[in-house]
């Protein structure tokens, strides 16, 4: 039963992560208004929390419920999947820092100001994150079918 719950929570957290990132992409456009800027900050916090749940439930599946830690540690696709997840996390730091820098303006009830170039960079990073997140399930499916085993 624990295995099923861990898998379910892992899948749901991935869906939530993707939905929040898609929503962030949809809402982020210039000119900003106060309510949309506040929503973007809240969505980004939720995205970070969802990523944390994805990581924790994935770790639980690897350590306790999956094919065994040895299988994953000797699978090149698992290493690629973890590397990709870390890359996505590093990329997500850029929009997060942009949104966190809005705190003072939002507290003062002001619309955050942003250059067109910086806004374009944020949207491109979000799009890259979305693309990379779509690759993660492919790696998982291939790995679950035995591909990527090192020395096997």
pLDDT in tens, 54-112: 999 999 999 998 788 888 899 999 999 999 999 999 999 999 999 999 999 999 999 99
- Which phi and psi (to 5°) does residue 18 adopt? -65, -40
Does 152 reside within a domain? no
Does 30 reside within a domain? yes
Mean pLDDT, the chain, whole residue set: 94
CA distance 104 to 147: 49
Does 151 reside within a domain? no
Range of the domain at 95: 2-144
Does 138 reside within a domain? yes
pLDDT band at 117 (very low <50, low <70, confident <90, very high): very high
Please report where in the chains the tokens 């003062």 appear, as a residue: 108
> How many domains, in total, are found in the chain?
1
Q: What pTM value is reported for the model?
A: 0.91
Does 72 reside within a domain? yes
Give the angle subtended at the CA of 134 by the CAs of 2 and 3, to the nearest 5°.
5
Nearest Cα neighbor of 140 from 99, 85, 64, 60 is: 85
Does 111 reside within a domain? yes
CA distance 11 to 4: 11
Q: Would the pLDDT of 51 be above 70? A: yes
Q: Is 146 left (phi over 0), alpha (psi -120 to 50) or beta?
A: left
Does 51 reside within a domain? yes
Does 49 reside within a domain? yes
């Amino acid at each position: 039963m624990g295995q099923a719950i861990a898998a379910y929570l892992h899948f749901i957290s991935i869906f939530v992560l993707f939905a929040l990132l898609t929503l962030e992409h949809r809402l982020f456009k210039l000119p900003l208004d106060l309510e949309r800027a506040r929503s973007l900050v809240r969505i980004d916090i939720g995205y970070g929390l969802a990523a944390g749940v994805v990581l924790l439930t994935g770790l639980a599946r690897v350590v306790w419920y999956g094919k065994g830690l040895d299988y994953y540690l000797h699978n090149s696709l698992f290493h690629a999947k973890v590397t990709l997840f870390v890359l996505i996390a590093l990329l997500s730091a850029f929009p997060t820092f942009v949104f966190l820098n809005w705190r003072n303006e939002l507290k003062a009830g002001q619309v955050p100001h942003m250059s067109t170039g910086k806004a374009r960079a944020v949207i491109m990073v979000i799009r890259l994150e979305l693309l990379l997140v779509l690759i993660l399930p492919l790696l998982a499916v291939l790995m679950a079918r035995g591909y990527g085993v090192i020395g096997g």
